[in-house]
Amino acid sequence: MSKENRGIRVSFNSPVILVFSIICLLVLGLGYLTGGVSDDLLFCVYKSSFTDPLTYFRFFGHVLGHANWEHFIGNITMILVIGPLLEEKYGSADTLIVILVTAFVTGVIHFIFFPGVALMGASGFTIFRKVTFPHIKWALLYGIVLCTARAMGEFGAVSVLSGHLQGKTNTMPLYIELLYQGYDFTGAFAVSAILVCMAVVILVLRSVLEHKGKEA
């Protein structure tokens, strides 16, 4: 009677994500051992000379670096939840290409447009909150105010496309027209006065944001 030896086989459906996570962990540990010197040298994107070979490595290496354990856990948890599903569906080769292309593109964009800020393995929301938004906040708010003003005064396009349904798709300009055509001149004047007051508020906000934007 013979016994059949059965070895334990372990397989992974997402080797790229697993290796990426392990490398990130090792890079974090190396950063603690070197007091952050390795992070500054290899795993951060910042304005540096094109003659420095490490500049080109940092275009890719910045996605491996993390500032601390909280930063690492936050990013890797999301990667380990979503990454294996994507790698299993699209394949390891495509997943690796996506990681490399994303790292390079974000690194180059940060290198060109944000030379005074170092980027290291930040998530998209963190990049937007701490890097992108502070640079564009006044322009963004200014654009919101202008879009609001444009929407408030829109007449022709809304009249043609919305169906002109009272109480559903009517805007204030359309409502003013309805009141005027119904010979309710008092109501039309009252709604017009409200629209004028809103326009004045928009103009004040526009002036303030324009001034803030120039100061920034």
Are the C-beta atoms of residues 149 and 202 closer than 8 Å to each other? Answer: yes
Number of domains in the chain: 2
- What pLDDT is recorded for position 1? 44
- What pLDDT is recorded for position 19? 92
Average pLDDT over residues 41-67: 86
- My answer on whether 114 and 141 are in the same domain is no
Average pLDDT over residues 62-84: 84
Between 131 and 110, the higher pLDDT residue: 110
- My answer on whether 165 and 108 are in the same domain is no
Residue 111 lies in a domain: yes
- My answer on whether 203 and 157 are in the same domain is yes
- My answer on whether 20 and 118 are in the same domain is yes
Domain boundary among 122, 146, 165: 122
Residue 189 lies in a domain: yes
The pLDDT confidence band at residue 121, using thresholds 50, 70 and 90, is low
- My answer on whether 19 and 110 are in the same domain is yes
d(CA 199, CA 103): 45
The dihedral of CA 87, 91, 92, 96: what is its sign? negative
d(CA 150, CA 147): 5
- My answer on whether 27 and 104 are in the same domain is yes
Residue 90 has pLDDT above 90, yes or no: no
Between 80 and 169, the higher pLDDT residue: 80
Residue with tokens 């005074």: 116
Are the C-beta atoms of residues 21 and 79 closer than 8 Å to each other? Answer: yes
| pTM, full prediction | 0.53
Q: What percentage of the chain carries pLDDT values higher than 70?
A: 82
Residue 7 lies in a domain: no
Please give the mean pLDDT across all residues of the chain: 80
- My answer on whether 104 and 146 are in the same domain is no
Burial 140-170 (b: 16+ CB within 10 A, else e): ebbeebeeebeeeeeeeebbeeeeeeeeeeb
- My answer on whether 21 and 115 are in the same domain is yes
Give the residue numbers spanning the domain of 114: 15-122
Are the C-beta atoms of residues 173 and 195 closer than 8 Å to each other? Answer: yes
DSSP assigned state of 5: P
Residue 156 lies in a domain: yes
- My answer on whether 168 and 94 are in the same domain is no
Residue 5 lies in a domain: no
Between 31 and 2, the higher pLDDT residue: 31
d(CA 22, CA 29): 11
Residue 26 has pLDDT above 90, yes or no: yes
- My answer on whether 160 and 210 are in the same domain is yes
Exposed, middle or buried, 110 (CB in 10 Å: 0-12/13-18/19+)?
buried
- My answer on whether 91 and 59 are in the same domain is yes
